[in-house]
Amino acid sequence: MNVDLLVPPLPGTPACGPPTFAPDTGWVVTRHGDVCAVLADPAFQVPVADAGAPGTLAWLRSTVSRFSAADRHPARRAIGLAALAALDPDELTTAAARLTHQVLDGAGDRLDVMSALARRVPLRVLAARLGLADPDAAVPAVTAVAAAWHPGAEGPRIVAADRAVTALLAMLPPTAPEVAANRLGLLVQACDATAGLIGAAVRHGLAAPPAVSIAALLAEVLRLDPPVRGTRRVATVPVRLAGRHLAPGEPVLLRFDAANRDPAVVADPDRLVPGRPQLAMTFGAGPRGCPGERHARALAGGVVEVLRHRCRLVPGPQDHEPHPLLRVPIRLEVEVR
């Protein structure tokens, strides 16, 4: 079912083609099959984060599974998986919907989805279920850490993130540092990605017919307007990819936004068609695939389903937060019915 008929490629999205080399980024991989091949090949590894003093942003990044070396990744990932296994996605959806209703009830005629709901609701719900003592205070703290999570963050953001990590650790019950770090890592990873998914779903799908399920809508939005546009890897040994020879140490940028529109695997790739086979690469794949995919979809679904019933999108220009690989709207207004 076509909802928004045509969603052109996002600005800066490269066309699908063989891997290309650029001096500033290294190898850029755009085709769906090539991206899948890299994600599944142990010859390509995630860049490892530098260590830092305990309780700081650098310590957190170097201790979570997301930025861990191959020998430490499985054990750290298992910590996150164990925490997520205790959470029921259906209950997350119900809790997110309930909190969204509460916010809308006090919102008046208009509401900015991004400031009032997109981060606040998923983080509030998830923090409570991961055992943080003050879930409301955790929301701005996690947001501050997420703002400095990726390389290139400037000094003031790092200082704010260091303070936020200290505050978040104090909210957790006593546990091993590695366990604490990977519980917090789940929240940080959910922050911008889930907010971006909610924003994209509101923008493209708020007026979708009731017959379109929220699961089908989110899956197609993830393909056409992914909140995470790509991810990075490094070749660790000499390797051949799609006819190209890569040397050890060469960086690789996997472009999910391009792979999601690969005409070799998606018919009419620029049209929003809920119900397609779920081919979106936003959550990755293979041993490093996002462990919280089901939970992120559940949280976003709880928010967006309520908005579909109670709100109408206010037309207007759309700006996004500046980031090379994340796509999160700055502001997104709706009228509350």
- pLDDT (tens digit, 9 = 90+) per residue, 273-293? 998 887 788 888 888 889 999
Angle (CA) 164-166-171 rounded to 5° is 95
Strand duo 20-22 + 26-29: pairing: antiparallel
pLDDT for the residue 302 = 98
pLDDT for the residue 300 = 98
User: What would the pLDDT profile of 66-93 be if each residue is shown by its tens digit?
Assistant: 999 999 999 999 999 999 999 999 999 9
- SS3 for 190? helix
Which among 30, 34, 92 has a CA at the least distance from the CA of 301?
92
- E strands, the chain, where? 20-22, 26-29, 44-45, 110-112, 230-235, 239-241, 244-246, 251-255, 311-313, 333-336
Amino acid identity, residue 259? Answer: A
Spatial contact of 192 and 209, defined as CB atoms under 8 Å apart? no
Angle (CA) 245-247-249 rounded to 5° is 145
pLDDT for the residue 3 = 58
Domain boundaries, the chain: 20-336
- Distance CA(201)–CA(272), nearest Å, equals 11
Count of CB atoms situated within 10 Å of the CB of 60: 28
Q: Is the pTM of this model over 0.75?
A: yes
Q: In terms of residues, how long is the chain?
A: 337
C-alpha 91 chain-centroid distance: 20
DSSP assignment letter at 130: T
Structurally, at CATH architecture level, domain 20-336 sits in: Orthogonal Bundle (1.10)
DSSP assignment letter at 330: S
Q: Which tokens sit at 302?
A: 């709880």
pLDDT for the residue 22 = 86
- Distance CA(111)–CA(122), nearest Å, equals 17
- SS3 for 320? strand
Residues in the chain, pLDDT under 50 = 1
- Torsion angles phi and psi, residue 38, rounded to 5: -65, -45
